[in-house]
Amino acid sequence: MDFNFKFTKSKVEALLPDNNHADEWFELMKDMLPKYKIDTVNRVAGFIAQCSHESRQFTVLEENLNYSAKALNLIFPKYFKKLGRDADDYHRDPKAIANVIYANRMGNGNTKSGEGWKFRGRGVIQLTGKNNYTAFAEDIDKSLNKTIDYLKSKKGALE
């Protein structure tokens, strides 16, 4: 498998100007992307653009849920304001926030299950939710717990 255009380290460095490890990402991408048929200019551009947005140019591999109470009411009103939850109780508590906003969806259990936090966004695409983690774990032939750690690595984050 290969690209149908000249895919170079300098192109990746240009697309990730704030990433000090663009060369490492290039090495991983040149092997990984064609495996998933991300091998044309448009597909590579779209993939890198989306992942750059989700991961701050491939620098953040775990979702940051460190929101103020004010931000929670603005960004997630249906989980706080509309349900009568006091956002002040969740102010700057990423674990509690994840367990509220990801509860009872994407295969996650309720707020007390801890699965919102366990299966929060990871990887450059910010894979989220137990169902998505489970499907990914099966695809890469790893246990669910090993998949969580794998997504924190550059190789896992890209796959």
The one-letter amino acid code at 3 reads F
Summarised one tens digit per residue, pLDDT across range 23-37 is 999 999 999 999 999
The domain segmentation of the chain, as residue ranges, is 9-55, 69-158
pLDDT digits (tens, 9 = 90+) for 55-69: 999 999 999 999 999
pLDDT of residue 1: 59
Rounded to the nearest integer, the mean pLDDT of the chain is: 96
**Spatial contact of 79 and 101, defined as CB atoms under 8 Å apart:** yes
Measured CA to CA, the distance from residue 82 to residue 12 in angstroms comes to 43
pLDDT range class, residue 82, cuts 50, 70, 90: confident
Confidence of residue 2 (pLDDT cuts 50, 70, 90): confident
Phi, psi of 58 (to 5 degrees): 65, 30
Q: What is the pLDDT of residues 84-105, one digit of tens each?
A: 899 999 999 999 999 999 999 9
Tokens of 52: 């750059």
- Judge whether 80 and 73 are in contact, CB under 8 Å: yes
Reported as a single tens digit per residue, the pLDDT across 123-157 is: 999 999 999 999 999 999 999 999 999 999 999 99
pLDDT of 17 higher than 70 = yes
If pLDDT is split at 50, 70 and 90, which confidence band does 83 have?
confident
Q: What percent of the chain has a predicted confidence (pLDDT) above 90?
A: 95
